[in-house]
Structure 1
């Protein structure tokens, strides 16, 4: 994909045409100079149109040479747009530098007057209705036959030094009118801005209605547990004696009598204690006697 400087002339809006005098003259000179160089090289661009002329504010560039042919070569395409020469409406005949001169003349005329292109006969009528330097510049440029049109070098020599033929007084009046229109448009934008600013200030000074407070959203409560099934009250089980049961019997061996010793007299407890005291008294007495003899 190619990239060229500036924008095509098709990007100009209706309010941009006609262009100021210096821009008109710069575009006309540079395009005609480019066509003169192509003619000297024996090349015909073949598709000079607002799409193929780029303007960056100071220089015009002729671009897109896809349809370029050698001078005298057979024409292999047709054009029917408003900037095409009459002989380009069909694909017969040979290419000629006059094809490019016609297209360039229509474009320069449109940038100068603001009028849209038309057929060659209508363009000649429009030019005849504009007496002055324009008739000299575009003389025979809208001829039906390419051989009768001037060369790019001839048209370049016809261009004036400061403007494309617009009288200085008319140019000044047009400039003053455009300046007044721009001033009026600027004032209208300023008034609209001030009105909008005032309305915004009034709107901000008014108390704003407060929105009703919304109660806080309640959190969903967990579902209660299902009630436990009722249990019957616990009752204490008391064993009930049933006398009707059969008596329990144990098959234990019979109790045998304890045999008493033959040397243990059968006496009571008091007698046993008295006997023990007597024995202890005798032992003590014997002990004392034995100590006295010793």
Structure 2
């Protein structure tokens, strides 16, 4: 069950990132981003990934209750009485609504449709944050910290993933960097502030927390930020000059950044299901 929980958390994080990144990029005028095509199956698969990733904790609690209840009774209790189950029910409603709207209007390119899809995805992020570990420790602070952390990560990582793996060329690359660099910086700052807020709730003593699996996973996540910062600096400040002077293809560099972000998601998935030091 442990590896299933880790995989579920990873799929959940990637699904949210792809959805947020896709809808942001598609809402931007074509003159301010590279040409790209995002297959509808990627959107549908990401929604299903979010649903599956959020359902695994529901299943985990259900199995824990089964020694004294039948599976259906335990599942019903979790869905109707536990915050994790209630949050999944709201996520299910938002996901179905999103899939139906996308199936009906996914071919429309008007900005308002993509903004609507993005709003539904943000609602899903809110329900996930409401059911998080941090919210159970301190409802308002925990929810706010986890919501901002998830949203900032989805914006930054999602746009990088979409541009890295779905761009067809490097047209309008400079125009994309002009608006994305400040967005990425704002996301980075938000991640830092919300991360400190969450650490204050979950890991009051960072050094002492290193004795636990949760603290060790958190350390790995922080160490991965070192090579990530290198690629951020290159892609944000030097790539334009290299493209003009040396005709460098920027896509492999952005893909390298996306792979480090994937590794950070994997480390987060590993330690997030562990018991926090507090």
Query: Rg bigger for which structure?
Result: 1
Fold shared per TM-score above 0.5: no
- TM-score (normalised: structure 1): 0.23
Instruction: Give the number of the structure whose residues are more often helix, by fraction.
Output: 2
Higher relative contact order (CA 8 A, sep 6+): 2
